[in-house]
Each structure stands twice: as structure tokens, then as C-alpha cells.
A = this chain, B = another copy of it.
């Protein structure tokens, strides 16, 4: 017999990172090589001390899109009775990640110029 359990989800502390999610994930994959979805959400939460929390509804469709586009490739791994789906950057994906990181840095610098105009 199976009972569906409701979980309360408090995931969005900020809506600021629209558009930044993709480069964030690419960066993590670049640093850590091989990751699965749930691991990505946990690592982001840990690194940012809970400030950035990725919702599954944003993450999984994005990962699937990146796979479609050839940015990442996947392999399944059986953990007991459960299946994990690991994601790795492809060669093309690594190139794209470098470009994305350059763009992200420029964006962050630009943001900083606006928020901290004195430090220009």
C-alpha cells in the first residue's frame, strides 16, 4: 500500500537568479566532473549557505535541455534499488562553459559597477 506524503517546500529566497541557473550548473559540472541532479541542488545549497536553492521544477527540465543540446551527457547508475542519473559535460559543453563563465563574470562586474559605483 502506498500513501502520498505532502512535503512543504520553501525554496525561493530570491527570484534574482533567473537566467543564471544554467551557468551555475555548468560551472558545478566543470568543477566536479560528474554529478547527479539531487547532488547539484544540495551542493548549491551548501556552498551558498542556504541562500540559493534550486527547485527541482527548474533543474530537471534544464538538465534535459542541456542534454538535448549536447552540452552534457548522461549515464545511469544503480544505487541499491534506486537509479541515479549522472551528468557530465561533453567536449562541446566544456567550451560553452568557458564562454558562459566569461559572460557571467562580466555580468557580475557590471552588477558590481552599479551597486558599488565608488569602486569603479
Which residues of A are at the interface with B, using a C-beta cutoff of 8 A? 14-20, 23-24, 27-28, 31, 44, 47-48, 51-52, 101, 103-115, 117, 120
Q: Which chain B positions have C-beta within 8 A of A23?
A: 16
**Interface SS of chain A:** helix
> Bound complex: CA of A87 vs CA of B48, how far in Å?
35
Report whether B52 and A20 are in contact in the complex, using a CB–CB cutoff of 8 Å: no
**CB-contact partner of A51 in B17, B18, B27, B110, under 8 A:** B110
Hey, which chain B residues are within 8 Å of A31, CB to CB?
117
| Contact (A104, B115) CB under 8 Å given A15-B19, A16-B19, A17-B19 | yes
Q: Roughly how many angstroms separate A115 CA and B52 CA in the complex, as a whole number?
A: 13
Residues from chain B with a CB closer than 8 A to the CB of A24 are: 111, 114
B18 and A110: CB pair below 8 A?
no
| Other A-B pairs beyond A24-B114, A27-B115, 20, CB < 8 Å | A14-B19, A14-B103, A14-B106, A15-B19, A16-B19, A17-B107, A18-B19, A20-B111, A27-B114, A47-B117, A48-B110, A48-B113, A48-B114, A51-B106, A51-B107, A51-B109, A51-B110, A104-B111, A108-B108, A108-B112
